[in-house]
Structure 1
Amino acid sequence: MINKETLVSYYEKKGRLQQNFLTKQFQVDLPKFSTHEEAAGWFKELFGDDFIFVEKTKAANETEFYYLYDIIHDRERWERRERDIKEKGFANGLGMLMCAQRVDIYEDGAVELAF
Structure 2
Amino acid sequence: MINQQTLESYYEKKGRLQQNFLTKQFQADLPKFSAHEEAANWFKELFGDDFIFVEKTKAANETEFYYLYDIIHDRERWERRERDIKEKGFANGLGMLLCAQRVDIYEDGSVELAF
TM range (shorter): over 0.9
* 1:53-103 deviations in Å (ceiling 9; x for gaps): 000000000000000000000000000000000000000000000000000
Tell me the residue number matched to 2:60.
60
TM norm structure 2: 1.00
Could you list the runs of 4 or more consecutive aligned residues of structure 1 that deviate by over 3 angstroms after TM superposition? none
d(CA) in 1 for partners of 2:44, 2:73: 14
The alignment's C-alpha RMSD in Å is 0.1
Unaligned stretches of 5+ in structure 2? none
Q: Alpha-carbon deviation of 1:39?
A: 0.0
TM norm structure 1: 1.00
Tell me the residue number matched to 1:15.
15
* 1:10-39 deviations in Å (ceiling 9; x for gaps): 000000000000000000000000000000
Q: Percent identity?
A: 93
